[in-house]
Amino acid sequence: MKLIRAFLAISLILAVSACGFHLRGQITSLPFTSIHVIAPPGHPIGIDVERAIRVNTNAKVTKKPEKAQAILQILSAVNEKKILSLSIGGRVREFQLGYRVSARLLDSQGTEIAPVEGINVTRVLPFLDEQVLAKAAEEEMLYKDMQADAVQQIIRRIAAIKPQ
């Protein structure tokens, strides 16, 4: 009986290790060793992009653009809110929240490596008049989640660039 259990355990370990499974959060290889991030003043996306590059990639974030091989310019980051549906009585039932980011990548001489790209992330927020405070907190949480998604998309797009 112990022999069968040992055999099954070893078989399971070998099967899982051979399937190519990798934990999320592996280091992404960027085509640059150093990068400088320029973001709109007062917007937290610049800090989030820098943090994600430091933690999830092989590139170093520099404080001076002269020392960087690439410069990531985040041109704009905008929150949007639209009414998605109304009840029969004319009250709002759902909002569509949107987060738009425009960014481009330059080399150290200022030549455009990747043109301006827009990233659009949307979420639906169901709304009830009785839960105004809870929905305000949920809305804020959804905007933060959309910003995190946009940051990951920016990093994936940078990683996909093939340098000349």
Phi, psi of 80 (to 5 degrees): -130, 155
Tell me, what amino acid is at 32? F
Tens digits of residue pLDDT in 41-53: 888 999 999 999 9
Q: Would you list the domain boundaries of the chain?
A: 2-159
pTM: 0.78
**CA-based nearest residue to 75, from 13, 118, 35, 134:** 118
Tokens matching residue 159: 């990683």
Statement: 2-159 belongs to CATH 1.10.1530.10: no
Check residue 161 and report its DSSP letter: -
Tens digits of residue pLDDT in 81-96: 999 998 898 888 999 9
**CA-based nearest residue to 102, from 72, 57, 124, 143:** 72
Tens digits of residue pLDDT in 18-35: 566 555 556 788 888 999
